[in-house]
Structures are given as C-alpha cells and as structure tokens.
Structure 1
Amino acid sequence: MKKSRINFNLVLTLVIYSSVACTPSVSPSVVSPSSSTNAPNPSNSQQNPELEIAIIPWVSSTEQQDKIQQLEEYLKQELHQPVKIQLTKDYETAVNLLVKGEVKVAYLGPLSYIQAKQRNPNLEPIVAHIEKTTGRPWYTSVIVVNSQAGIITLEDIKGKRFSFVSPSSTSGFLFPSAKFKKLGMKPDRDFSEVQYAGGHDKNIIALAEGKVDAIAVNKSAYIEAVQQNLLPENQYKTIWESQPIPNSPFVISSSLPSELKTKLQRALINAPEGLLNVGGITATGYTVVQDEDYEPIRKLQTFLEKPTQNP
C-alpha cells in the first residue's frame, strides 16, 4: 500500500449535499515493537520530556488499551523519548486535553478534530489511517436496525428508540443527523427515545441487547459485529449508508517542535500493520493529511447547525 497523501476535497466536497441521499443498502497480526532496529538512546530519553497522547474511545477498553500499549512502546523506540498514551473516557475529554494543551497529540474523529480546531486554531492533522476494508483513507456511516422492529425506511424510525455514538462522532452522529434533517426529521421530536452510547461498540451492544431499535455506527464496526455474531444478519440489517468520510486523524499542537512532528509523522507512516488499530479500526497504514482534507466536515457541520427552514 502506497502511503502517500491523498486529497479528499475533490471527492468529499460533494459529500455535503450528496451524503444526505439515502442509499438502502480481524484483527491483524501484532508485530512486536521490540523488533524495531532503532533502539532508544538512554541519554536522549532522559533529556526529552514525555510526549503525552490522547486517544478517543472506540471499542472495548481492554482491547483498545492493548493496542495502545503496543503503539506506545513502538513510539518510545522510534522517537527516542518517553511516550504516554491515554485512552480517554469519551470524545469530549480527548478534545479538551488537546485544546487546553494538556497533551500535544491526540487521535480524534473527523468531527471532533473540527470541534477542537474551532476552539484552538493552533492544531493540525498530520496523518490518517487507511481503511483495510476499502484500501482508502475514508469510511462510511450506516444505520442499523432490528429486523423485527418494523423499520424499512428511515422515516419508519419515527416513534422508535434510536442511539447515536456521541455528539462529537462523525459517523455516529454528524452524517446520520444531517440525513435526518434533510428528510425533515428531528430525533428529539420524532423518536420515542434518543440515546448516546459513548462508543461504537457500546452502540452495537445497546442494539443487540434490545435497548434501542436502531443505531448509527461506523460501517467497519458493524461488519465486525456481524462477523462476531453480535448482530446476526438474519436479525439485523442496514437501511442507510453515507457517502465517504475522511478518516480519523492524529492531530498535533503547533507547539510541538517541528523536528518531533516530522519524526512522529514518519514513525506512524512506517508503523507495522499490527500497531495501527488504536482507534479500533482495521487499518493497513497511515497517509499524510492536512486541514483542507476536513473542509467537507466543516460544511456538513454548518448545514446541520443552520435553523430548519420549514418547521
């Protein structure tokens, strides 16, 4: 897989208006960080301050924490300095830590990056992962329903129980919310109950346990749930899928020294495949990104925030 920068604008600018069009519809082997040939220099490790990185929650904390520890050890060796990666309790905590300068690096969702950038302009994305299921640096959102709930179209969710991931989630909130708005639907008015699970895996569990009738979730998380028989295909189905969404980026503060930024960017791009799944995504590598790649997310956010013309 060629890990070069891929510009999203040509494809994804159309997302703002086309993403609201209804479209019915393994974890890789882990490479031990100790295999790196770049052994850390003890004197450098003592001289350089600890680099703190925040990661948004995505899947089971135990599973995600294992991946995070492996990446942490890898980065210590590649950067030749102490590294501490923390898994935050929710999206908002990761954003707050980065905005306030309590961490210099964070792995954020596309929308949470935009929200962070609005609060602190001195932030920039440096890499985003390449989706293993598509081979591209983007993914999609899907709405999944219980087949027994009598939901065939999005309009059928009216009067039903629905769960988003988080108000800061791109696939678990922004894109499906924009679709609902385009259809003239208001979740807080039209659904019998609206929940926010806090993570894609938690949203899937809520649906599997019958706590809700429909959910918005990342498609790759849904596919994995089907493979694990958490959401058997004869009991659950997708009724909508979004247009491509630019993948979640690693975001840095401008206060990070340029040399360290370059080293971090290079280390992530060259990371073994087994170290890539810190966000719970099956990834094959990272590609260079920049702020303009996420402009479509800003536009969709603006669309969602505009007052409804026809109540």
Structure 2
Amino acid sequence: MKRIALILMSLVLTASIATACGQGGTAKKDYDTITMVWYPNESGEDLKAAREEIGNLIKEATGKEVEHKLTTDYAIAIETIANGNAHLSFLGAQGYIEAHNKNANVLPLFVNSGASGTLDDALYYSWLNVKKGNEAPYMKDGKYTIDNIQGKRFSFVSNSSTSGFKVPSSGIVSYFSAMDNWKSLTQEDLVEGGSGKFFKEVLFGGSHQGSAVNLLTGRADVAAFCDTCVANYVELASGTENRPGAVYRVRKDAADPFTSLVGSEFTVISVTPVLNAPFVYNKDVLTEEDAKALTDLFTSDAVAKNEKVFIPKGSEFKGLFASTGTERFVKVEDAWFNPIRELSN
C-alpha cells in the first residue's frame, strides 16, 4: 500500500509541475553559459578574434560565459539552433527561414544596417563569377550576361545559403524559364548536374570561401559566392565594386583556404542585392530578459563605434562587418525576411 501511495503521489507531483510549466509558458533551461553556433563561413581561424569580440559583447549584455560552436556544414548550424543545442546564431536569411520553419521559436534579434544606419539599405551582394580571362563567353553587346552558364561546371555554396544558392538559383530559373527549352526549369533542377541537366556538373563549396576556391582552382567554370564572405581575402583589382565586370584579386596576406591562391583573379559577371544576415535566438532556451539585453547592447551607439565589430577602412583587424562610419545593428522582425521566403514560391 505504501508503494502504491508513493507512486500516486509521484504522479500527482509530476502532473502539478507539468501544469505549472504550461501555465507559465515554455519552460526555460537553466544556463550559465550561452552557446553561439557559427556557419562555416565565420568558423575559420582568421575570424577567431571577431568571434571573440562578439562573445565579449554577449557576456557584457547577459553576464554569462560564452561558448563558440564552430561548424563545417550549414545544415549543422541550422539544426543546432533549431533544436535548442545553441542559444544564438548568425545565419543568412535563408538559413534563418529554414531554422524558423523547423522551430517557430527561432526568431531574429538584429541585423547590420547599410550606410544609412537603417534597414533601408541593409544589403550585401550575391555574385556569379568566372576566372579572369574567361569572361568572353559571358558578354553580349558589351554587357555581361548569364546566357552561357548553361552546360558549365557550376559551384554553389550550400542549398541552405541565401546568397550562395537561394538567390542565384532563383535568378537563374527566372531568366532561363522564359526560354522554350527551359520553361519548366526549377531550383531543384540546378542541384545536380549531368547529361540532360542544366549544368554539366554541380559542386557545393560548403562555404562561400569554398565556392570561390572551386572556381580559382579550376574545378568550376562559374561560381556563386557573396562579397562580404570573401572580403577579408580579396581586393578590387579593376572596375567598380559590386558591379558586373569588377575584377578581384586574392590578397598577399590571404588566410586559408586562399594561401596557395595569392594573386589569382576572378571577374564578377552578375550581381544581385540580398537582405543582410540576422543574429537569431531560440526562445525555448534563451530567456526574453537575455534576448532584450542583447538587443539593447548590440543596437547601441557604443557597439556601432566598436572597431572590432564594424571595421573601418584601412584597419588590419579581420572582422565581419565593414564600416563607412554610420553602420550599426538594427532590430528586425520576422516579416522583414518575406522577400527571401517568396523566392521559394
């Protein structure tokens, strides 16, 4: 009888706890360390100091220690934040949307602004690129065109990348589906190459740096990657930044994976603006109090002036966000990313 009574008491206690948690909303895990998971693009050794500065700010805002979780795969980072094994992440717009679709409690905190200091120009650029010297097939009447990318060896970044897959693949489908022989073309058709396929061969670099290396080492004829993720490794050799025809050269001080490619050049043949990437959190595991503290600090004037976060021109610090003096972090809502969602419709 005593055993039965203990079991009944245990069941009642368990039910009471469950009811209390239900009434109070989603129960938060106790934590004294905040885990930040990074994409492969930002996981390199050359960006360690930049990651640590972000970690210092997270600690300043919350009073908690910070663990950096590095990845070699987009899908791992997305799954880690979605399943609550990380509190925070810095994801591209497409990666955020995928994480949010997996768990609606993954939400954006803020993005880096444009030069206006607002969301109005909070953009970076998705490029399609060819090796310098191979531009001729991609020119028509003195202008760059993507007409002849069909049948080539093509490198994307990851199918979870905004500027390395979602945006360029959408643009390719939109352009070529107007032609009778490709009128049924879909984004899924671009994932795999081969006989009868749109591309002769399709590669995935795993990161923007990896896609650029695929191009410069001759594994791909055309490659998609973005301006910001290769900015620490290349310099403008000729032309106008973020415009078709711009030629970029691998810098003398370029870190891995470009150390053996110093001096190599590529030409941008197509440029598409993309919404800036958000810092996101999982509200299942991060308290609203910490989320607010993080937003308040990161969107402050003090962080806008932090030269280890917003890197002024001429600085030798390898960071994530270039600055002209007016950029800052700006609070953002889920709906701001709807234009990227619509690329899948």
TM-score grouping bracket, smaller chain normalisation: 0.7 to 0.9
- Describe the superposition over 1:115-139 as per-residue Cα deviations: whole angstroms up to 9, x where unpaired: 1111111121010112569983111
Displacement of 1:211 after TM fit?
1.8
Measured in 2, the distance between the counterparts of 1:233 and 1:140 equals 23
Rate the CA distance shift 1:146–1:60 in 2: closer, same or farther, 3 A. farther
Match of 1:100 in 2: 83
Question: Does structure 1 residue 250 correspond to structure 2 residue 290?
Answer: no
Rate the CA distance shift 1:222–1:61 in 2: closer, same or farther, 3 A. closer
- Describe the superposition over 1:194-241 as per-residue Cα deviations: whole angstroms up to 9, x where unpaired: 101011112222212222111111133456523472299995322211
Are the counterparts in 1 of residues 43 and 70 from structure 2 also a CA contact under 8 Å? Answer: no
Match of 2:169 in 1: 177
**More RCO (CA 8 Å, sep 6+):** 1
Match of 2:290 in 1: 260
Measured in 2, the distance between the counterparts of 1:233 and 1:158 equals 28
Rate the CA distance shift 1:52–1:173 in 2: closer, same or farther, 3 A. same
Question: Does structure 1 residue 239 correspond to structure 2 residue 269?
Answer: yes
Please give the TM-score of this superposition, normalised by the length of structure 1: 0.74
Question: Does structure 1 residue 209 correspond to structure 2 residue 239?
Answer: no
Match of 1:142 in 2: 127
2:331 equivalent among 284, 288, 296: 288
Measured in 1, the distance between the counterparts of 2:264 and 2:31 equals 55
- Describe the superposition over 1:82-106 as per-residue Cα deviations: whole angstroms up to 9, x where unpaired: 1212222221111111111111211
Are the counterparts in 2 of residues 57 and 279 from structure 1 also a CA contact under 8 Å? Answer: no
Question: Does structure 1 residue 190 correspond to structure 2 residue 198?
Answer: yes
The residue identity in structure 1 corresponding to 2:307 is E
* RMSD (Å) for aligned C-alpha atoms: 2.8
Match of 2:243 in 1: none
The residue identity in structure 2 corresponding to 1:239 is I
Q: Which has the larger displacement, 57-66 or 155-164?
A: 57-66
Question: Does structure 1 residue 72 correspond to structure 2 residue 55?
Answer: yes
Displacement of 1:144 after TM fit?
0.8
Match of 1:151 in 2: 137
For 1:11-160, what aligned pairs fall within 5 Å after superposition?
49-58=32-41, 61-131=44-114, 136-149=121-134, 150-152=136-138, 153-160=145-152
SS of the residue 1:112 aligns to: helix
Structure exhibiting the larger radius of gyration computed from Cα positions: 2
Please give the TM-score of this superposition, normalised by the length of structure 2: 0.67
The residue identity in structure 2 corresponding to 1:301 is S
Measured in 1, the distance between the counterparts of 2:88 and 2:264 equals 42
Measured in 2, the distance between the counterparts of 1:205 and 1:114 equals 27
Are the counterparts in 1 of residues 41 and 229 from structure 2 also a CA contact under 8 Å? Answer: no
Q: Which runs of 5+ in 2 are unaligned?
A: 1-29, 139-144, 183-188, 237-247, 252-261, 312-317
SS of the residue 1:217 aligns to: strand
- Describe the superposition over 1:264-299 as per-residue Cα deviations: whole angstroms up to 9, x where unpaired: 112222322313579844254211101000011111
Question: Does structure 1 residue 301 correspond to structure 2 residue 301?
Answer: no
Displacement of 1:77 after TM fit?
2.8
| Identity fraction in percent | 25
Measured in 1, the distance between the counterparts of 2:158 and 2:124 equals 17
Measured in 2, the distance between the counterparts of 1:276 and 1:88 equals 23
Measured in 2, the distance between the counterparts of 1:119 and 1:62 equals 30
Q: Which has the larger displacement, 160-169 or 255-264?
A: 255-264
The residue identity in structure 1 corresponding to 2:199 is F
Question: Does structure 1 residue 273 correspond to structure 2 residue 303?
Answer: no
Rate the CA distance shift 1:73–1:151 in 2: closer, same or farther, 3 A. same
Rate the CA distance shift 1:194–1:51 in 2: closer, same or farther, 3 A. same
SS of the residue 2:133 aligns to: helix
